[in-house]
């Protein structure tokens, strides 16, 4: 038999969680035809000896809502093996929308997700009002990778309630919102999202509409989802970041109560963000216990977890820099990086900046460093160490060298020609390690996510978490146990695809989509984060590339080859649930 493509002799990790095996993968018409030892021929044959062959990754937590209207590849996620990206998370997005609310929604996205508003204003063409029309606009655009969208509650509230978007919804409001949700789900939305943490604010400081929604509103929308029989509910619960995240301490307890209670009642797939905070590092155990109990009673709830700390990168390429609060440094900030670094190396300027007191600020920011922060601030270093030990902190370095931590910070940030970063883990790093995170990921009830692709452009690039899961947690973690290769791949492929009802992908089996990664695990790793000005209007962002992805394929066509984007456009919009082929692996 002649196939379109045969990938020969690779180590196949099929996405089901079963151990790796050596096998060939045949593809015809964009679909996996056979997996095993094959004798047929093909129009193209790839020698995968020494490579790991996996399904394309399904990233359930991105914020490409705007970028998806102009970028067919969804960089940087496509550099990290992602072939399906789901957006509309955290209760924010760009549909439905009335014509006079465009800039309002942009300001909301800019404030919550740190995506430059100027880029969104320049890049989005606004060819829609309803959510269904937004999906139509996404579908019209040629794409390299697949994209799916959830209905964001904030946009729904603004569409229905206008200037009352932060008020308690009336009965008429609930009826209108319920109709929008039902219509959007039937049009192909993959679910709906609620944002409920007070730490999420618009660029003007307003909370996200829906942050303080009453339970009758939440229940009404969950009832709609149950009635339509489609979609996942994604929730950012109040208190997910602890008191540091802007909520009352332990406020997440009340959120877990309604999530599990209504989850049992409506039995819709539901995922909520779960992170470890330093103040109450063991609280996650009670959340997971409540979820297990609810699921045993019929709920379908998954705590969504990350593969590394949630925090920020400080440096001369970042929006966060501890020296931006000093006058002399601010006078240099508009210089190109190379010239700025050259000036900062001047001993006179160094002495002047270090001698200046930071400006007083009415609103504290994380880059206003204190003795406590110095103990949790780490050079990222050439090894890109996202799990540093306490002795690696700026405070520890300063103590060993008998120097002021500010001097150490200044000199470290001039490393790598001024491209060095300082890592400040804020969540998921209690105890200065990933022990809690390992235990969360090891519980099969958890769902891998929280990469935030497309978001937080000025301070992090966590879209690389897929690569980090495979490069750090599989065989390279030195400070504790890791994950097996088959478990890590399952958490990036078959597991999220199955939870979102995308039965046509996530597993390498006959009848499934030929979304495939060819990976050289020995070379797999991350590049240093870098700032580029490639967004519409020349706006900047931090990106992070990778090594080791030999090819990433969508429907059997190569969309990324050794980090280079191709002209192939096999991707598209994912509308609604997709059933698995009869007889296909689960």
pLDDT in tens, 18-28: 999 999 999 99
Statement: residue 586 has pLDDT above 90: no
Q: Would you state the structure tokens that stand for residue 556, as one six-digit string?
A: 């059997």
- According to DSSP, the residues that pair with 468 across neighbouring strands are none
Nearest C-alpha neighbor of 301 from the set 267, 330, 274 = 267
- Map residue 402 onto helix, strand or coil: coil
The length of the chain is 586
Query: pLDDT tens digits, residue range 438-452?
Result: 999 999 999 999 999
pLDDT of residue 582: 67
Which tokens go with 360? Answer: 């007083």
3-state secondary structure of 49: coil
Residue 61's CB is within 10 A of a number of other CB atoms, namely 27
Element holding 221 (H helix, E strand): helix 215-228
Q: Which candidate, 205, 196, 210, places its Cα nearest to that of 165?
A: 210
Residue 146's pLDDT is what?
98
Place of tokens 């001039």: 414
Q: How would residue 212 be classed by pLDDT, with cut points 50, 70 and 90?
A: very high
Measured over the CA atoms of residue 450, residue 180, residue 134 and residue 163, the dihedral's sign is negative
Q: Which of 68-82, 263-277, 353-367 is least confident?
A: 353-367
Instruction: Domains for the chain: give ranges and CATH numbers.
Output: 2-55+512-565 (2.30.40.10), 57-309+434-499 (3.20.20.140), 313-427 (no CATH)
How confident is the model at residue 244, as a pLDDT? 81
CA–CA gap between residue 154 and residue 476 (Å, rounded): 41
- Joined together, the tokens standing for residue 320 give 């966060």
pLDDT over threshold 90, residue 242:
no
Question: Is the pLDDT at 581 greater than 90, yes or no?
Answer: no
Structure tokens at 119: 């880029």
pLDDT at 585: 63
Average pLDDT, the chain: 97
211's CB contacts (< 8 A; 6+ apart) are 195, 196, 197, 198, 200, 238
The torsion angles phi and psi of 584, rounded to 5 degrees, stand at -75, 155
Contact, 467 vs 57, CB < 8 A? Answer: no
Question: Phi and psi at residue 552, in whole multiples of 5°?
Answer: -120, 125
Total Cβ atoms within 10 A of residue 585: 17
Average pLDDT over residues 105-116: 98
Task: Give residue 1's pLDDT band: very low, low, confident or very high (50, 70, 90).
Answer: confident
Least confident of 186-195, 239-248, 318-327: 239-248
Lowest mean pLDDT among 119-133, 239-253, 393-407, 560-574: 239-253
User: Beta strands of 202-309 (E only): which ranges?
Assistant: 232-236, 269-273, 300-305
Q: What is the pLDDT of residue 106?
A: 98
Average pLDDT rounded to a whole number, residues 353-360: 94
432: left (phi over 0), alpha (psi -120 to 50) or beta: left
pLDDT tens-digit map of 419-439: 999 999 999 999 999 999 999
Question: What pLDDT is stored for residue 364 in this prediction?
Answer: 82
């Amino acid at each position: 038999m002649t196939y379109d493509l045969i990938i020969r002799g690779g180590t196949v990790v099929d996405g089901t969680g079963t151990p790796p095996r050596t096998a060939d993968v045949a593809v015809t018409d964009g679909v996996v035809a056979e997996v095993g030892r094959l004798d047929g021929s093909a129009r193209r044959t790839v020698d995968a000896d020494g490579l790991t062959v996996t399904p394309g990754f399904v990233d359930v937590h991105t914020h490409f809502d705007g970028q998806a209207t102009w970028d067919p590849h969804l960089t940087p996620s496509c550099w990290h093996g992602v072939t399906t990206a789901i957006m509309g998370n955290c209760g924010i997005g760009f549909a439905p929308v009335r014509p006079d609310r465009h800039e309002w929604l942009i300001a909301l996205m800019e404030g919550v997700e740190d995506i430059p508003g100027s880029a969104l204003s320049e890049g989005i063409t606004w060819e829609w009002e309803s959510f269904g029309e937004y999906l139509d606009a996404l579908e019209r655009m040629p794409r390299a990778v697949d994209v799916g969208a959830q209905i964001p509650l904030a946009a729904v509230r603004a569409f229905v309630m206008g200037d009352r978007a932060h008020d308690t919804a009336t009965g008429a409001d609930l009826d209108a919102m319920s109709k929008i949700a039902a219509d959007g789900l039937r049009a192909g939305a993959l679910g709906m999202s609620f944002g409920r943490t007070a730490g999420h604010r618009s660029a003007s400081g307003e909370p996200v509409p829906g942050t303080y929604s009453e339970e009758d509103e939440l229940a009404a929308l969950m009832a709609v989802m149950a009635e339509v029989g489609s979609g996942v509910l994604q929730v950012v619960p109040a208190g997910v970041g602890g008191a540091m995240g802007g909520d009352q301490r332990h406020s997440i307890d009340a959120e877990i109560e309604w999530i599990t209670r209504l989850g049992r009642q409506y039995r819709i797939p539901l995922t909520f963000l779960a992170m470890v905070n330093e103040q109450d590092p063991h609280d996650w155990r009670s959340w997971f216990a409540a979820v297990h109990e609810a699921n045993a009673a019929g709920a379908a709830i998954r705590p969504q977890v990350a593969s590394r700390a949630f925090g920020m990168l400080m440096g001369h390429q970042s929006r966060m820099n501890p020296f931006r609060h000093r006058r002399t440094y601010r006078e240099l900030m508009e210089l190109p990086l190379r010239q700025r670094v050259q000036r900062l190396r001047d001993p006179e300027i160094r002495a002047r900046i270090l001698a200046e007191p930071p400006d007083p600020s009415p609103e504290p920011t994380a880059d206003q460093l204190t003795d406590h922060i110095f103990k949790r601030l780490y050079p990222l270093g050439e090894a890109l160490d996202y799990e540093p030990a306490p002795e690696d902190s700026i405070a520890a370095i300063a103590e060993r060298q008998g120097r002021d931590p500010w001097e150490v910070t200044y000199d470290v940030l001039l490393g790598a020609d001024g491209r060095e970063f300082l890592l400040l883990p804020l969540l998921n790093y209690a105890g200065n390690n990933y022990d809690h995170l390992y235990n969360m990921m090891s519980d099969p009830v958890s769902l891998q996510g929280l990469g935030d692709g497309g978001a937080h452009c000025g301070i992090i690039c966590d879209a690389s978490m897929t690569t980090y899961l495979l490069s750090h947690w599989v065989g390279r973690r030195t400070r504790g146990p890791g994950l097996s290769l088959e478990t890590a791949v399952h958490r990036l492929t078959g597991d999220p695809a199955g939870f979102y009802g995308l039965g046509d992908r996530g597993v390498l089996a006959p009848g499934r989509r030929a979304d495939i990664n060819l990976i050289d695990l020995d070379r797999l790793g991350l590049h240093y984060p870098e700032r580029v000005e490639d967004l519409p209007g020349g706006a900047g962002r931090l990106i992070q590339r990778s090594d080791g992805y030999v090819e990433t394929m969508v429907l059997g066509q190569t969309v990324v080859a050794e980090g280079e984007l191709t002209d192939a456009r096999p991707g598209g919009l994912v509308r609604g649930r997709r059933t698995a082929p009869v007889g296909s692996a689960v």
